[in-house]
Amino acid sequence: NAGVTQTPKFRVLKTGQSMTLLCAQDMNHEYMYWYRQDPGMGLRLIHYSVGEGTTAKGEVPDGYNVSRLKKQNFLLGLESAAPSQTSVYFCASNPKGLQVRETQYFGPGTRLLVL
Amino acid sequence: GNSVTQMEGPVTLSEEAFLTINCTYTATGYPSLFWYVQYPGEGLQLLLKATKADDKGSNKGFEATYRKETTSFHLEKGSVQVSDSAVYFCALKRGFFGNEKLTFGTGTRLTIIP
């Protein structure tokens, strides 16, 4: 069981470039989330998904798009990167179920630097 | 809206010292409360949780009690170790089924020196 994995681990982009961050989980979880972590601000929710084919906006969705074509994958896209998107991005997942969904499982993070 | 306020860090303690990291929250109703820990270079891991008032969450020697009267969920450990060095996040979860979200505090960096 790999848990939640993220690709790539680190990336440098120039302003205006695009890229896709991949999150994969092998736990058959229904829910998946993308967060960004910035100094002094904790984690903020960008987008999330409650099932295959569904996505919803979180707290800070502007400048990002997501897709959940397969249950195990949740992609985060930056169409035109900006320096303000320099951050560490975390993916998380949790199962659907009254008790177990309390716990979110996090990936190791992707560090993105936009110049 | 929902919010979590955490003790600002960084916090540096000697091994075997007593640890308290304060956390207070603002939320309507009865949120679930969590402490997550992030070790260097890793993602967040759930440390402990409490889902109703007066519940005590505990794990790895850490404890936190859900105090509704003071809207607090302070993290404590009686004797810290070097391996406890990490960033600790307090969080709450609110929302109805299918729309629950976690709200995180800003994190507290803890360093334990031998």
Map A8-56 to HEC letters.
CCEEEECCCCCEEEEEEECCCCCEEEEEEEECCCEEEEEEEEEECCEEE
| CB neighbour class for B99 (10 Å; exposed up to 12, middle 13-18, buried from 19) | exposed
Residues of B in contact with A103 (CB under 8 A): 46, 49
The pLDDT score that the predictor gives to residue B64 is 98
When CB atoms are compared, the residue of B32, B100, B106 closest to A42 is: B106
CA distances from A71 to A49, A58, B58, B106 (A): 10, 19, 32, 30
| pLDDT tens digits for range B20-77 | 999 999 988 788 899 999 998 888 999 999 988 999 999 999 999 999 999 999 999 9
When CB atoms are compared, the residue of B43, B49, B98 closest to A106 is: B43
Alpha carbons A104 and A29: distance in angstroms, whole number: 10
pLDDT band at B4 (very low <50, low <70, confident <90, very high): very high
Q: How many CB pairs under 8 A join A and B?
A: 46
Give the residue from chain B lying closest to A31, CA to CA: B98
CB contact under 8 A, B43 and A107: yes
Residue B99 has pLDDT above 70, yes or no: no
Tell me whether strands B32-38 and B23-26 are parallel, antiparallel or unpaired.
unpaired
Residue A47 has pLDDT above 90, yes or no: yes
At a CB cut-off of 8 Å and minimum separation 6, what does A79 contact?
Answer: A18, A63, A65
Alpha carbons A47 and A10: distance in angstroms, whole number: 20
CB contact under 8 A, B106 and A101: no
CB contact under 8 A, A45 and B51: no
pLDDT band at B1 (very low <50, low <70, confident <90, very high): confident
The pLDDT score that the predictor gives to residue A2 is 76
CB contact under 8 A, A42 and B93: no
Residue A12 has pLDDT above 80, yes or no: yes
- A87 or B99: which carries more pLDDT confidence? A87
Q: Is A101 helix (H, G, I), strand (E, B) or coil?
A: helix
The pLDDT score that the predictor gives to residue A61 is 96
The pLDDT score that the predictor gives to residue B31 is 87
CB contact under 8 A, B105 and A42: yes
At a CB cut-off of 8 Å and minimum separation 6, what does A18 contact?
Answer: A77, A78, A79, A80, A81
The pLDDT score that the predictor gives to residue A100 is 45
Tell me whether strands B101-104 and A31-38 are parallel, antiparallel or unpaired.
unpaired
| pLDDT tens digits for range A71-112 | 999 999 999 999 999 999 999 998 875 454 567 889 999 999
The pLDDT score that the predictor gives to residue A98 is 46
User: Is B72:B24 a contact under the CB 8 Å cutoff?
Assistant: yes
Alpha carbons B56 and A92: distance in angstroms, whole number: 25
Chain A contact residues (CB < 8 Å to B): 4, 40-45, 48, 50, 58, 90, 92, 101-104, 106-109
| CB neighbour class for A40 (10 Å; exposed up to 12, middle 13-18, buried from 19) | exposed
The pLDDT score that the predictor gives to residue A97 is 58
